[in-house]
Amino acid sequence: MSVVVEKLTKRFTATGTPAVSDVSFRAPAGAITTLLGPSGAGKSTLLRLIAGLELPDAGSIQIDGVDCTGLPVQKRGIGVVFQSYALFKNMTVRENIAFGLSVRRQDRAEIEARVDEMLKLVQLEALGQRYPGQLSGGQRQRVAFARALAIRPKLLLLDEPFGALDTRVRVELREWLHELHVQTGVTTLLVTHDQEEALEISQHVVVMEGGRVAQAGTPAEIYDRPATPFVASFVGGTSVLKGHVREGRAELGSLVVAAPESAQEGQTVHAFVRPHDIKLVKTPHANGVNGTNGVNGVSAGRVERLKPVGGYVKVLLKLPAGDTITVEVPRGEFDQLGVVEGDSVHADVRTARLFVGDFSI
């Protein structure tokens, strides 16, 4: 069961910028497709359009080959899970899960059996008689999943489902969602601004910028081959170096790499460098920035700041031309490196994604 969105546009004011503009993509059947982007990119509006909670100004939505563009929510065969859980506080866990089935006037015995099945699926068999206020955030979100899945939806829509949870619980529920998806196989659309979440649990990713699709593809395609400067900057926490094309090479301060084939002499070029794609080597110079430019690397830089973050250390490095880049060094490797703030280091840039032209990030 796939979802096909074609040229979808939604405006909330007659003359304002569209919240969603000419959006087209295909969510593969049986996969988790993530709508990824910063706040205001149009992700939640797009999800609400697919759910039928909003109606588009133009375009179409097909679910399982059926044009659902004008259908009401209850006829689309979808389940929805929101960040806020949206559970009924005066109902028990069992009653919450049974709600959608009761509205559909299913047989009481069938409802009870389905609720038992859902409680087992979300590993909350012992908590059926509790109320939402007696549960942890993670448990409440599992109840919300169980309620959405109880009606056997063709499509599951998740709007920032882990956004209100603390980091530990959020990471645990990502793994739980993966296992849940393996068991159910239901086609799923997930909205998030968390790129790690998107890359970890998705089979397909749609990156959105300003209400439009910037790139769609597998997590590996999005990460390894970003199609636009925005995608390159948003996914992976990149540093950006600016320079120009000179004799077939991109000269970006002290970083010199091969220019893209399409680049012309004198054109502006930007290199997007991820923090873990740089290897640091301590230079014999005690302070300052010395040395000559190298090819495919930065000859020297000065350590401006060190920020230990768990198992790695963030190194803010100032380059000879005045640019700064962030490098992430595993803790063990950093301890062996033995650098302190103010030291000179050689920074070998192993991979950089280059784009030609002037643009804003």
Question: Over the stretch 67-100, which tens digit does the pLDDT of each residue have?
Answer: 999 999 988 989 999 888 789 999 999 999 999 9
How much is the average pLDDT of 231-255?
86
How much is the average pLDDT of 184-193?
94
Tell me what pLDDT residue 263 has: 84
Tell me what pLDDT residue 284 has: 61
334-355 per-position pLDDT tens digit: 999 999 999 989 888 888 888 9
**361 occurs within a structural domain:** no
Task: Say whether both 279 and 149 belong to one domain.
Answer: no
| Domain tally, the chain | 2
Tell me what pLDDT residue 16 has: 84
Domain end (from 189, 213, 233): 233
How much is the average pLDDT of 246-257?
81
Task: Say whether both 185 and 333 belong to one domain.
Answer: no
- Rounded CA gap, 278 and 281, in Å? 10
Domain residues for the domain of 290 are: 237-356
Tell me what pLDDT residue 165 has: 81
**104 occurs within a structural domain:** yes
How much is the average pLDDT of 25-47?
95
The CATH number of whichever domain residue 53 belongs to comes to: 3.40.50.300
Tell me what pLDDT residue 122 has: 93
132 neighbors 89 (Cβ within 8 angstroms) = yes
Task: Say whether both 204 and 258 belong to one domain.
Answer: no
53-70 per-position pLDDT tens digit: 999 999 999 999 999 999
How much is the average pLDDT of 41-54?
96
The CATH number of whichever domain residue 278 belongs to comes to: 2.40.50.140
**pTM for this prediction:** 0.87
279-332 per-position pLDDT tens digit: 898 876 544 444 334 335 555 789 999 999 989 999 999 988 888 889 999 999
92-106 per-position pLDDT tens digit: 999 999 999 998 888
- Rounded CA gap, 103 and 105, in Å? 5
**133 occurs within a structural domain:** yes
**38 occurs within a structural domain:** yes
Residue, of 216 and 14, whose pLDDT is higher: 216
Task: Say whether both 122 and 214 belong to one domain.
Answer: yes
